[in-house]
Amino acid sequence: MDTKLLTEKDIKVAADIIKNGGLVAFPTETVYGLGADALNAQAVAKVYEAKGRPSDNPMIVHIGRASDIGQLTPRLSPDIVALIENFWPGPLTLVVKRKSCVPDRTTGGLDTVGVRMPDSKIALDLITWSGCPIAAPSANLSGKPSPTKAEHVIEDLQGKVDAIIKGPDCRVGIESTVLDVTGDTPTILRPGVITAENIEAAIGKKVAVDPALYVNRPRDVSDEEFKPKSPGMKYKHYAPKADMTIIEGSRDKVKTEIERLRVLNERIGNKVGVILFEERAFIEAAHDFFAKLRELDKQEVDLILAGAMSDTDGVGFAVMNRMLKSAGYNIVRV
């Protein structure tokens, strides 16, 4: 299906595939998702298979209307209501208590479920017309960078799924913020473009951040607490084929060091790719990062040198989370 030619009928055909237990890749505002009927355990099992994904990794369930969250969870708190009002449709996933109709296959056996209403007309139409909530991880092969363009999905999943909706490039470029709202203090399990500050402003209270998200573990965090609470965070992620190193420090020093390492490595015949965003261009960095990794893979570089972004900004923190994982936490300070 071509973007320009994409019609209502095409989306309806895709919705029928979902309704009948098949797999459809579709665009959202964050990244492309690989969708199946969230309440059909067999359909969900096929998603794990197509992606080559470990089956204890829970999926985000996408809904077409905010009120449909009631199908999935037995209770709403005032915080949850405020978050929905402020951020849905949009890149915020809420981890809530699950109802028993949500299969173990979908939640990876957890008694909670991640729910999100995406801000994309194609995604919302697909969900509405399929008549069921849609479980969808990012539509990449497990371990590869998340897909932000239809061509990325085609590279990874053509022939492995029933349909791929060729929509527009994704506006945000990194996955949604995952926020656990099952306890008294909402906790960010995966950072995204909706930041702790945005959430605090909406609910009027402090938000916690899963300590496992800090590379430099704060001294007062125990080993036990340092384990990621979001199962997906423990896997190898977003890895480009090339070796990747992040350089962190003042802007001038980072530029000098990248140049020094580039020359050094090119001299021994290695192909080097550089990722260096403008210093405070956090939104652009989020938008471009995964696409950049895939582009460098295509160019078959041996080494990627990336300049760190400031993680004191919430969106910068989210970009750095992806960058660190891509580099296997390989970071040099200058």
- Closest to ligand TXA by CB, 130 vs 138, is 138
Near ligand TXA by CB under 6 A, which window of 23-31, 207-215, 273-281, 321-329? 23-31
Candidate list 50, 83, 90, 112; residue touching ligand TXA; CB under 6 A: 112
Candidate list 18, 23, 30, 286; residue touching ligand TXA; CB under 6 A: 30
Contact in structure between 176 and 93 (CB atoms under 8 Å): yes
- Answer whether the bond into residue 118 is a cis peptide, omega within 30°: no
Asked if 93 is part of the footprint of ligand TXA (rule: CB under 6 A), the reply reads yes
Asked if 107 is part of the footprint of ligand TXA (rule: CB under 6 A), the reply reads yes
Return the closest-CA partner of residue 301 out of 247, 242, 238. 242
> Which amino acid is residue 97, in one-letter code?
K
Asked if 170 is part of the footprint of ligand TXA (rule: CB under 6 A), the reply reads no
Asked if 173 is part of the footprint of ligand TXA (rule: CB under 6 A), the reply reads no
CA distance 58 to 78: 25
Asked if 230 is part of the footprint of Mg ion (rule: CB under 5 A), the reply reads no
**Nearest distance, CB of residue 180 and Mg ion, angstroms:** 17
Backbone angles phi, psi at 140, to 5 degrees: -115, 160
Contact in structure between 323 and 239 (CB atoms under 8 Å): no
28 binds, among ligand TXA, Mg ion, none (CB under 5 to 8 A by kind): ligand TXA
**Nearest distance, CB of residue 93 and ligand TXA, angstroms:** 5
Burial of 159-192, coded b for 16+ CB within 10 Å and e otherwise, reads ebbbbbbbbebbbbbbbbbbbbbbeeebbbbbbb
**Nearest distance, CB of residue 277 and ligand TXA, angstroms:** 20
Q: Which pairs from 13-17 meet CB under 8 Å and 24+ separation?
A: 13/163, 14/126, 14/130, 14/163, 14/165, 15/125, 15/126, 15/128, 15/129, 15/130, 15/131, 16/130, 17/162, 17/163
Asked if 138 is part of the footprint of Mg ion (rule: CB under 5 A), the reply reads yes
113 binds, among ligand TXA, Mg ion, none (CB under 5 to 8 A by kind): ligand TXA
Candidate list 46, 190, 292, 294; residue touching ligand TXA; CB under 6 A: 190
Q: How many other C-beta atoms can be found within 10 angstroms of the C-beta atom of residue 22?
A: 17
Asked if 114 is part of the footprint of ligand TXA (rule: CB under 6 A), the reply reads yes
Footprint of ligand TXA (CB under 6 A): 28, 30-31, 33, 57-60, 91, 93, 95, 107, 110, 112-114, 116, 118, 136-138, 175-176, 178, 189-190, 230-233
